[in-house]
Structure 1
Amino acid sequence: MRVKAIQSGFSLLEIMVSVAIAAIALLGLGSAQLKSLQYATSSFNYTIAIVQANNAAERIWPNLCALKHGGGFNGNFKNTTLAPQIDDYSITFPANFNDDLAIEVQWPDSRLDDGLQSKLRIFAQYPTLSAAECGL
């Protein structure tokens, strides 16, 4: 008489297949986490660029009369007063000061490979002031 063996538990093949499936799923989750960190860093750089551009626009206000009536919007003013506080960012201004000033900020971002430039542009509008209003 033959006794039939009753199997209890899992076979080695079943365990290996489930480990392979779990490994593939964990690799996918790791890849998604890496992309998420790349996008978070890109968003952080964009936020810092906005802060840099707004800071430059705000630093113009104390010198507004001098810029409108005495010139002074030269390389020295741009390089000292309006320079970005973080070296990785560069700020570009128009050659001459006007009431509608375009400020462009660029930064390097090699983490994302989308081929797009990492830059933004804000437009600052200043009031028209006469020489009498400036006390000149």
Structure 2
Amino acid sequence: MKKTEKGFTLFEVLVSLFIIGVALLGIAQMEVYILKSSQSSFNYTVATIRANSFVDAVWADLCNAQEASASLNTYAEIRTDWIAEVSDAGMTATETYTSADKTSIVTIRWTDPRFTDDDLNNTLTLDVEFPDSGCGE
């Protein structure tokens, strides 16, 4: 009588375990990348909120910010307070205002050691054009 074998051999089990191990390592690596991207997205969102808070502060007092006599003091105070707020959050802020065309370029940078190869992931630039307030008329 012939004996038929049922089940798996030890070699087949080892190959299956190897394949499952490689798949689990791939999933773990993907999870690490997802966590890095999630933190980068969070930093970008915080930078966007902080940049918009500066624009909102200027916008709320637009008449004084654009008025010739108060413009330097009011705008400088808003800018100084905002830069200090951004610095307290561990980010670096720069802002350039052009009075001729009433535009402002707001840039916020932060350090994320997980993305050392790409500085674009660590920078937000916001171009703003303020309307002529018409308050002096």
Q: TM-score, normalised by structure 1?
A: 0.80
Which residue of structure 2 aligns with residue 16 of structure 1? 14
Q: Contact between 2:54 and 2:79, CA under 8 Å: does it hold in 1?
A: no
CA spacing shift, 1:116–1:45, aligned 2, 3 Å: same
Alpha-carbon distance in 1 for matches of 2:26, 2:115: 18
Q: CA separation in 2, counterparts of 1:51 and 1:86? A: 14
1:86 is displaced (CA, Å) by 5.5
Larger helix proportion of the pair: 2
Letter in 2 for 1:100: T
Secondary structure of the 1:93 match is strand
The structure whose Rg is larger is 1
Q: How many residues align?
A: 129
Instruction: Report matched runs for 1:113-132 at 5 Å.
Output: 113-117=116-120, 118-129=122-133, 132=136
- The structure carrying a bigger strand percent of its residues is 2
Residue of structure 2 equivalent to 1:111: 114
List alignment gaps of at least 5 residues for structure 1.
Answer: none
Q: CA RMSD in A?
A: 2.3
CA distance in 1, matches of 2:82, 2:116: 34
Percent identity of the aligned residues? 26
Q: Does 1:78 align with 2:79?
A: yes
CA offset digits 1:81-133 (Å, max 9, x no partner): 55338612222112x56311111111111122333241111112112245634
Q: In 2, are the aligned partners of 1:104 and 1:122 still within 8 Å (CA)?
A: yes
Matched-pair contact (CA < 8 Å) for 2:57–2:78: no
Unaligned runs of 5+ residues in structure 2 are none
